[in-house]
A and B are shown apart, each in its own frame.
Chain A
Amino acid sequence: MSSIALKLLKPFGVDAQFDFNPTQMIKSLIVPLAGILVFLFIWNIGAKNIHTSLGEFPGPAQVYEQSKNLIAEHNRERDKEVAFYERQEQRNAKKLAANPDAKVKIRPYTGKPTFFDQIVTSLVTVLAGFILASLIAIPAGIVIGLNKTLYTAFNPVIQLFKPVSPLAWLPLVTMVVSALYVSKDPMFAKSFVTSLITVSLCCLWPTLLNTAVGVSAISPDLNNVSKVLRLSWLTHVIKIVLPSAIPMIFTGLRLSLGIAWMVLIAAEMLAQNPGLGKFVWDEFQNGSSSSLGRIMVAVLVIGLIGFMLDRIMLMLQKKVSWDKSVELR
């Protein structure tokens, strides 16, 4: 087996260190594969027995078919786009040849976003929202964690907002963004800002809480070291507080990113913001015989991306973490 394949399989429990020990092989490769096969089988049987107004529930075969369709559609759309720009350039070149002073414009292509465009939009939104939330939550968590009074003061507020669903925030955020985010030439689309803020509001809390707890759990001995050395507040935070809270901060970040991804899909669906959520909603409204299959493709892709996001965070955590003896999973 090539090393690349092993690396790809690692998230599924396949370890690169295994020597070709048959029982090890079975455990690390065959067992997860068997799990997937059993799932596909049950899905297939189940799907055949569910009949909806849009036809049979999509099984693995239909989903595979639809994913091929979505890729083909994407490629067609890209070809169209290229052709569109080529036509414009030709036209402009002709215009300029006839009259060198003529004003030429390149109009942007306004075709329907494909499934893959929607994925990119969703990813950009979720990362922006997550980064914004982290930029607020980590410093706030440090300040709250270092000060018992502040922690006691803000804990009820945090606990109150933590369980609030994105759907509850969304109308408020939409209205506030419409009211406040007014500019002639907006840098970002309103829908983007709305989803971003909704995502941030929902994924702020795990990072905030975990950072605060991690910071307050710093060993009193290390605090004493800091006191004896008379470290300034900033040095204390950078040299002692942050590194010792890193594991907890990352636990929070991973939870937050997971929540951000879930929240985003819901927000896009409800608010008609562009992205994967909107794709699902549009397909649902569309109601063709292939719609359910396409939605199922989206479901799997959403799951896969969520999983990959978590893996990326885990990799980051492993890189940043000083304690290599702890097994991170």
Chain B
Amino acid sequence: MSTKTHLELTGVDIEFPTPSGPFKALNDVNLKIDRGEFVSLIGHSGCGKSTVLNIVAGLYQATKGGVLLDGKEVNEPGPERAVVFQNHSLLPWLTAYENVELAVKQVFKNQKSKAEMKEWIEHNLHLVHMDHAMHKRPDEISGGMKQRVGIARALAMEPTVMLMDEPFGALDALTRAHLQDSLMEIQAELNNTVIMITHDVDEAVLLSDRIVMMTNGPAATVGEILDINLERPRNRIALADDPEYNHYRAAVLSFLYEKQRKPGEAAAEEKPVEAATEAAVSETSDGDSGNEETTHPREVAKCINKKTEVDNQAA
């Protein structure tokens, strides 16, 4: 059992069809994750992190390669790979309790009695500290609380792997810190396998056992993997002054803002599509001609924006 990999992505490629031919978003993504491991995916926005997560979730199908979970191929979505969505995705017409209930009823249809289900729903809402507002509807609670319910819903499915797509991205810094602490608490208790997408370097270092850093798209892949050997439980205040913590932080920052600039530019020389958009950026008045050739204008534009930002910072 221990020799077998828990979750494995092998040679994952994905192409999206576009009117001007396929657009390759991911190229040869390989990753192995152990049971109970907390892995963060970090990279510039629009460059395939969410795509990786969606492939693991089964919402997208890899064009080449595939995902194995405990030796079984993943080819459709399922509750054993519960997803916490970026914008909570609660059903707005149901209360927090009912939102979790929908998941519990679906997953434990014939396994739990009514009373057990009720207890299980309440237990999960308790884990995320939502007991006091469990009969409120999403529009009556704050953004942070909604995300807590989203996490409770995912936890309630008793997933083998929990997938979190920038779960705290839309929250203010204080709420985010609060939820990160809650998540660490829950993680210490349940020891779930978690894959989390994040933009936030501190979040990644604080929460993860490993940080997977992705190169810029198109045709993004795993750039570097950083093991975080900080002792748990971790305390954000103590760590703020910790040289080891700061070292990890610096490593991620340098990947994102130094190393990732170069492959992007190198790729631009090889790929005519990239070159065209680069030209479009340098000559904004000529923007249209560049966009005609790009396959995924929005995706590419996002990457370019990031890149120009990086350029500015470097300069």
Q: List chain B residues, Cβ under 8 A from A224.
A: 57, 59, 77, 83, 85, 89
Bound-state Cα–Cα, A5 to B224, Å: 73
Q: Which of A6-14, A25-33, A228-236, A298-306 participates in binding chain B?
A: A228-236
Q: List chain B residues, Cβ under 8 A from A240.
A: 91
Q: List chain B residues, Cβ under 8 A from A217.
A: none
- Partner of A230 from B77, B89, B92 at Cβ < 8 Å: B77
Bound-state Cα–Cα, A239 to B157, Å: 18
Complex contact B91–A225 (CB within 8 A) = yes
Complex contact B139–A323 (CB within 8 A) = yes
B106 contacts the other chain (Cβ, under 8 Å)? yes
B71 contacts the other chain (Cβ, under 8 Å)? no
A246 shortest CB reach to chain B, Å: 8
A247 shortest CB reach to chain B, Å: 11
Chain B contributes a number of interface residues (CB within 8 A of A) equal to 23
B81 contacts the other chain (Cβ, under 8 Å)? yes
**Chain B: which residue is nearest A227 at the CB level?**
B77
Q: Which of B70-119 contact A (CB under 8 A)?
A: 76-79, 81-83, 85, 87, 89, 91-93, 102-103, 106-107
A258 contacts the other chain (Cβ, under 8 Å)? no
**Residue in A228, A243, A322, A325 whose Cβ sees the most chain B Cβ within 10 Å:** A228
Q: Which of B121-160 contact A (CB under 8 A)?
A: 137, 139, 157
- Partner of A225 from B58, B85, B107, B137 at Cβ < 8 Å: B85
**Chain B: which residue is nearest A219 at the CB level?**
B89
Complex contact A228–B92 (CB within 8 A) = no
Q: List chain B residues, Cβ under 8 A from A229.
A: 79, 102-103, 106-107, 157
Q: Which of A185-240 contact B (CB under 8 A)?
A: 219, 221-222, 224-225, 227-231, 235, 239-240
Could you say which interface size class chain A belongs to?
10 to 19
Q: List chain B residues, Cβ under 8 A from A235.
A: 106
- Partner of B92 from A227, A231, A322 at Cβ < 8 Å: A322
Bound-state Cα–Cα, A229 to B108, Å: 11
Complex contact A230–B137 (CB within 8 A) = no
Q: List chain B residues, Cβ under 8 A from A230.
A: 76-79, 106
B206 shortest CB reach to chain A, Å: 27
Q: List chain B residues, Cβ under 8 A from A227.
A: 58-59, 76-77
**Chain A: which residue is nearest B86 at the CB level?**
A221
Complex contact A228–B57 (CB within 8 A) = yes
Q: List chain A residues, Cβ under 8 A from B83.
A: 224-225, 228
Bound-state Cα–Cα, A244 to B82, Å: 22
Bound-state Cα–Cα, A243 to B92, Å: 9
Bound-state Cα–Cα, A243 to B87, Å: 19
Complex contact B78–A228 (CB within 8 A) = yes
A243 shortest CB reach to chain B, Å: 4
Q: List chain A residues, Cβ under 8 A from B91.
A: 222, 225, 239-240, 243
Do A325 and B139 contact each other (CB < 8 Å), given the known contacts A224-B59, A228-B57? yes
Q: List chain B residues, Cβ under 8 A from A244.
A: 93
- Nearest 4 Cβ contacts at the A-B interface: A322-B93, A221-B89, A227-B77, A243-B93
21 contacts between A and B (CB under 8 A): A219-B89, A222-B89, A222-B91, A224-B89, A225-B83, A227-B59, A228-B59, A228-B79, A228-B83, A229-B102, A229-B103, A229-B106, A229-B107, A229-B157, A230-B76, A230-B77, A230-B106, A239-B102, A322-B92, A322-B137, A323-B93
Which B residues contact A (CB, under 8 angstroms)? Answer: 57-59, 76-79, 81-83, 85, 87, 89, 91-93, 102-103, 106-107, 137, 139, 157
Apart from A224-B85, A228-B78, A243-B91: 17 A-B pairs, beta carbons within 8 A: A222-B89, A224-B89, A225-B91, A227-B76, A227-B77, A228-B77, A228-B79, A228-B81, A229-B79, A229-B106, A230-B106, A235-B106, A243-B93, A244-B93, A322-B92, A322-B93, A323-B139
